[in-house]
Amino acid sequence: MRHVLAACIIAALAAGLVAVTANEFYLRILFSACVYLLCALGMNVLLGYAGQKSLGQAGLFGAGAYSVALLTTSLDMNPWLALVLAVAISAVFGVLIAAPSLRVRGPALAMVTLAFGIVVEKVVTEASDVFGGAMGIYAIKPLTIGGVPLSMAQWVWLGIALCLGIHLLLRNLLTGRFGRAFLSLQADEIAAGAVGVPVLRFKVLAFVIAAATCGLAGALVAQQNQYINSDFITFNLSIFILLVVLFGGSGSLVGPLLGAVTLTLLSAVLARWSWIERFANGALLLFALYAMPKGLAGVLSGVFGKIAGPKAAAEIRPPADVPLPTRPAIVVDGPLLQADDVCKSYGGVRPAHNIGARLMPGDIHALIGPNGAGKSTLINMLSGVVRADAGRIAFLGADLKHATMHAICHRGIARTFQNLRLFRELSVLDNVLLGQHARMSNGFLSSLFGLPRARREEARARQRAGAILDFLGLSHLAEAPAGSLAYGLQRRVELARALATEPRLLLLDEPAAGLNPQETAELGDLLLRVRAQGITILLVEHHMDLVMRISDHVIVLDYGEKISEGTPALVQSDPRVMAAYLGTDVEEMAPASSHAVAGLA
């Protein structure tokens, strides 16, 4: 509520300023600040949260402006209705511009969106029959109240009200399930998919939000001026919108406001000298990128953070004996997961060849084998990170071969990664809450409007995340950035995140890698406690002492083929396993096999 109150006070002060300002020039500056703020609010979701770089926002601004122009001039539509439709049309363009983001990333995506902006600019310039070319479109209907066009002060009040409303709506969205999901895309798309975030859907959503606010800004400008031409839709505008977000602080809720107010005022001061204005904008962009990576908002929060003083160091706490939040128990008749004749090859390398496995519920299964045997590849196929070339993978009877990563997570398979894939910049709690993403049911609208359902789901997810952190002895570290922790703790946070998806099957890819003997022993105890909660585990591990101590069933791979499986004792006495580990023939190993394999531990 404090944030809402502060936003309302700022908006009321700005509105009050409008009431006492008769000067049209100042009112136009305030209106421009509102227009840029609208663009920046959506762009902040796209760039600051979802991490998608777009240089084509001018094209979306143009989509809104020309839509409202054509709807009110050619179709004589009511200006308010035209404004709403212009936003919807811009949102559709947002879907179009999002399409390339599903295939390309980083600078390549920036180039594609840049091309979109240039294409829009060229189309409206060249297609003079429709868009009026360089002459533009005149006599656009302005917004009216009771048939009377808005005065300049009323335009600014409308701009302030829209900025306030959209800011508060986006704040609802970004401080919960959706905001975390956007941030996870920016951090690591594979990890995001593994915790149940539908990566493609969320990318498109971020583009649509940015397109809608940019289109709204364009439509307002066209209606206020009652005129639009291609000079409004230049590459400079795209850069300026980007600069507003970066300079204000991308990924911060107040960043767009800080950026829009500062840069609009600066442009107004420098407007007389256009070459200085461009130079200043370029210099500020460089400055923002190099000296203030978190923008003005980052600088301010750094200053206030220092005044508040450093946080007290957290002491280590033992795990609590609390139950894990889990899915309702089901009776499984047969294996939980069954893989049959699964194959995978990369060119000449064949990490999986006709592999079959039956994972019985409630057991700890271990997948072992020498380096390069194909263990991670099998885990990747089971979790949807890579697709099997052939064979069948069935989980609780459903075929997983073509399922996406997030769908597999929704079904109840969670995983950790051989090389940690934490959301390093996010807190431990947010990492675990991301694990709850698939278990939350609040959709877009309930999150946007902060409806009771969204609040209930958030409270429930936080309570469950708290229980998981207690279970793993991490609750005292909840607010620490995950990337700041010691390696062993980071591994535990990744386990907590996987457990937060409330899996039926937990896939662990070398969870003891990099741990010291004491940490490895503690991990073993922890996994036994996880199994006791009814969660089946498949563990890839090189630490044979750990494998032999906790596993019920061991599968051995070598050169992409299953060479042995059974109880730890059975596998230990299998000469083929010893031969695979020592790189010798089976015949040579046979006499001394059981002693020798025991020696692996």
Task: Catalog residues that contact ligand ATP under the rule CB under 6 A.
Answer: 346, 349, 351, 369, 371-377, 418
CB of 337 to ligand ATP, least distance (A): 18
Pairing assessment for the beta strands 349-359 and 337-346 based on DSSP bridges: antiparallel
CA distances to 187, 494, 593 from 483, rounded to whole Å, are 12, 11, 44
Pairing assessment for the beta strands 505-509 and 349-359 based on DSSP bridges: unpaired
Backbone phi, psi, residue 216, to 5°? -60, -45
CB of 380 to ligand ATP, least distance (A): 7
Residue among 472 and 554 whose Cβ is closer to ligand ATP: 554
CB of 241 to ligand ATP, least distance (A): 38
User: CB within 8 A of 420, min separation 6: which ones?
Assistant: 487, 490, 491, 494
**Cβ(109)–Cβ(100) below 8 Å:** yes
Residue among 50 and 373 whose Cβ is closer to ligand ATP: 373
CB of 555 to ligand ATP, least distance (A): 12
Residue among 147 and 347 whose Cβ is closer to ligand ATP: 347
**CA–CA dist 87, 223 (Å, integer):** 13
Q: Which of 255, 328, 324 is nearest to 294 (CA)?
A: 255
CA distances to 167, 238, 278, 288, 439 from 283, rounded to whole Å, are 28, 16, 9, 9, 46
Residue among 369 and 384 whose Cβ is closer to ligand ATP: 369
CB of 130 to ligand ATP, least distance (A): 48
**CA–CA dist 390, 393 (Å, integer):** 10
Vertex 206 angle, CA 386 and 183, to 5°: 65
Q: Which of 197, 220, 185 is nearest to 33 (CA)?
A: 220
H or E stretch at 561: strand 561-566
H or E stretch at 218: helix 199-225
CB of 538 to ligand ATP, least distance (A): 13
Residue among 349 and 445 whose Cβ is closer to ligand ATP: 349
CB of 351 to ligand ATP, least distance (A): 4
CB of 528 to ligand ATP, least distance (A): 23
Sign of torsion, CA 101 107 111 114? positive
Residue among 180 and 344 whose Cβ is closer to ligand ATP: 344
Residue among 228 and 557 whose Cβ is closer to ligand ATP: 557
H or E stretch at 201: helix 199-225
Instruction: Give the orientation angle of helix 295-308 with respect to helix 255-270, to 10 degrees.
Output: 120
Residue among 214 and 373 whose Cβ is closer to ligand ATP: 373
Residue among 372 and 443 whose Cβ is closer to ligand ATP: 372
Collapse the DSSP code of 557 into the 3-class scheme (helix H, G, I; strand E, B; otherwise coil) and give the result: strand
CB of 419 to ligand ATP, least distance (A): 10
CB of 96 to ligand ATP, least distance (A): 31
Sign of torsion, CA 568 572 577 578? positive
